[in-house]
Chains A and B, each alone.
Chain A
Amino acid sequence: MKTKQRNILLADDDKDDRYFFDKALKEIEVSANLITVNDGEALMAYLSENSEQLPDILFLDINMPGKNGLECLQGIQCNEKLKLLSVVMFSTSNDSQEISMLFKSGAHVYIHKPSDFSELKQVISHALPIADDKMVPASKVKYILNA
């Protein structure tokens, strides 16, 4: 698969984290088009407006004010038009109970946000090809990416 332009959607309320993600994505040598939304409500609004042209992959922060990442994930899974979307959960949490709850709710990949920038680039570049497998949603690959 040659480097085709991926449409990547990032939902994160934290300005610094959006900056890190954008910077990391630019430094990884992939062709990507990044769209960012700042919270859960904005994410769900974006998805319902663009349900015919969904992004290739969604990076979803968990700890957001208002509608949090888990609620967004559950909303996506309940929606016939959205449930094929590849979702990569993104959080600081290391809580195994919380993580298994996310996989039960339909997450494809879980990324524990690293504190090292080069590790961040690494986990994003690992997550992207996994998300490409969304064509076979029945065999959702469950990954925990811990740098």
Chain B
Amino acid sequence: MAKKIKSNVEELSNTQKELVFQKSEKEKLAAELVIAKKELSFLKKEKEKRLAELGIANKELVFQDEEKGKRAAELGIANIELAFQDEEKGKRAEELGIANIELAFQDEEKGKRAGELIIANKELLFQNQEKEKRAEELIIANEELLFQNKEKEKRAEELIIANKELLFQNKEKEKRAAELIIANKELLAFTYISSHDLQEPLRKIQTFVTIILENESKNLSEDGKYNFGRMQMAAGRMQQLIDDLLAFSRITTTELKFEKTSLSNIIDQVKAELKDTILEKKATIEASELGFVNIIPFQFRQLMYNLISNALKFSQPDIPSHILIKSILVKGSAAKNKKLSFVKDYCHITIKDNGIGFEPHFSERIFEVFQKLHGKEVYGGTGIGLAIVKKIIENHNGVITATSQLKKGASFDIYIPA
């Protein structure tokens, strides 16, 4: 029995242990049930939420269906529209076909033009190259011009200075001209005094002398007659001086009127005036090749008179006087005189005689006023004749020269503008 009681106690302890274990298992299951219960309640809640959400989703779907219906209707309309547009597109396509043909033609034309343009471009290119060359040349030319302009400016400045100088000189000349006008007026006054006041008393002396010689001759001694004769000669000389001076001043003061005049006519007039002297000197005057000259007629007649009467006066006592007058047309260069223009035409008049002539070194002096080469007892005259001749030639813008050798005649060469 002790073994049986031990076995029973062991059995009992095991059963107890089983019971404790079962109890704890039960407790575990109870706890799991609690959790499962909680889980179920949560799932239930979730199902409710999903249901609610499904309700909303269904509503949404209904709305979407409605919308789809609307879209379908709109699509129908849109399809009709598209069909119309397709039709329109067909028309446009046809039109485009025509337009394309047109474009093709235009393209061809454009091609042609392009070809022409290429040629034209080549031409332009060539021209541009030429232009560039010209441009380069122009640049060089411009530089040259610039230089020339600078030079011109320099010259212009120099000219301005020269002009100022000229202006000053002109003013001076004007002053001189004004002075000359005054001097000329004085000369005119002198001419007047000479012609009237100086001549009056002289004429009276001469008249009284002639009255005495005419009426009282028989009452005078030979000596008295001689003295009266000398007095008459002196008075005559004075008259000649006054006359010549008057003629000389008239040459300078009277108006110069040029006319185309026959030189032969003038020589004929002078020959007529000197008829008696020509006869007395048995002179021959040979005038040839005389044409028309542009001269102041009355002055030139005086000139010819003075030269021819001089030639007659200074003839050689034993040889008949021969005077040769000729006139030819020459260029100024032929005259070899620096007062004449080389290029202008001149009338060259020569008066040559076979008289007593003069020594060459007198060839200038004989033209000065009051210059005489001989005593007045041998050859009369006042020494004004050739001065008048020179003045007249100056009035004609010409020159006169005299060449001679003693006893070999004299030659006067006149050059006046033709």
- B203 and A113 within 8 A (CB): yes
Residue of A nearest to B211 (CB): A117
Q: Which of B200, B214, B239, B246 contacts A117 (CB 8 A)?
A: B214
Q: Does B199 make an interface contact (CB < 8 A)?
A: yes
For the A-B complex, the count of residue pairs with Cβ-Cβ distances under 8 Å equals 41
* A17 partner residues in chain B, CB cutoff 8 A: 204
* A93 partner residues in chain B, CB cutoff 8 A: 195-196
* Shortest Cβ distance from residue B10 to the other chain A in the assembled complex, whole angstroms: 206
* B106 partner residues in chain A, CB cutoff 8 A: none
* Shortest Cβ distance from residue B216 to the other chain A in the assembled complex, whole angstroms: 12
Residue of B nearest to A93 (CB): B195
* B196 partner residues in chain A, CB cutoff 8 A: 63, 92-93
Count of chain A residues with a beta carbon within 8 Å of a chain B beta carbon: 17
Docked complex: A78-124 residues within 8 A CB-CB of B: 92-95, 113-118, 120
Q: Does A23 make an interface contact (CB < 8 A)?
A: yes
- A115 and B202 within 8 A (CB): yes
Q: Does A20 make an interface contact (CB < 8 A)?
A: yes
* Shortest Cβ distance from residue A10 to the other chain B in the assembled complex, whole angstroms: 16
Q: Does B22 make an interface contact (CB < 8 A)?
A: no
Given contacts A16-B204, A92-B195, A92-B203, contact A115 B214 (CB under 8 A): no
Docked complex: B231-283 residues within 8 A CB-CB of A: 235, 239, 243, 246
B-side binding surface: helix, strand, loop or mixed?
Answer: helix
- B210 and A116 within 8 A (CB): yes
Residue of A nearest to B250 (CB): A95
Docked complex: A5-53 residues within 8 A CB-CB of B: 14, 16-17, 20, 23
* A20 partner residues in chain B, CB cutoff 8 A: 204, 207, 211
- B210 and A118 within 8 A (CB): yes
Q: Does B294 make an interface contact (CB < 8 A)?
A: no
Q: Does B206 make an interface contact (CB < 8 A)?
A: yes
* B243 partner residues in chain A, CB cutoff 8 A: 94
Question: Could you tell me the distance between the alpha carbons of A88 and B195 in the complex, rounded to whole angstroms?
Answer: 20
Question: Could you tell me the distance between the alpha carbons of A14 and B199 in the complex, rounded to whole angstroms?
Answer: 13
Against A, the Cβ 8 Å flags (1 = close, 0 = not) of B334-372 are 000000000000000000000000000000000000000
* Shortest Cβ distance from residue A133 to the other chain B in the assembled complex, whole angstroms: 28
* B214 partner residues in chain A, CB cutoff 8 A: 117-118
Question: Could you tell me the distance between the alpha carbons of A17 and B203 in the complex, rounded to whole angstroms?
Answer: 10
- A120 and B207 within 8 A (CB): yes
Q: Which of B195, B199, B207, B246 contacts A116 (CB 8 A)?
A: B207
* A113 partner residues in chain B, CB cutoff 8 A: 203
* A114 partner residues in chain B, CB cutoff 8 A: 203, 207
Residue of B nearest to A20 (CB): B207
* Shortest Cβ distance from residue A78 to the other chain B in the assembled complex, whole angstroms: 26
- A117 and B210 within 8 A (CB): yes
Additional A-B contacts beyond A114-B203, A118-B210 (11; CB < 8 A): A16-B207, A20-B204, A20-B207, A23-B211, A92-B196, A93-B195, A113-B203, A114-B207, A115-B202, A117-B210, A118-B214
8 pairs of A and B residues whose beta carbons are closest in the complex: A115-B206, A117-B210, A115-B203, A117-B211, A92-B199, A116-B210, A16-B204, A63-B196
* Chain A residues at the B interface, C-beta cutoff of 8 Å: 14, 16-17, 20, 23, 63, 92-95, 113-118, 120
Sample of 18 A–B contacts (CB below 8 Å)? A16-B204, A20-B204, A92-B196, A92-B199, A92-B200, A92-B203, A93-B196, A94-B246, A95-B195, A114-B203, A115-B206, A115-B210, A116-B206, A116-B207, A116-B210, A117-B207, A117-B211, A120-B207
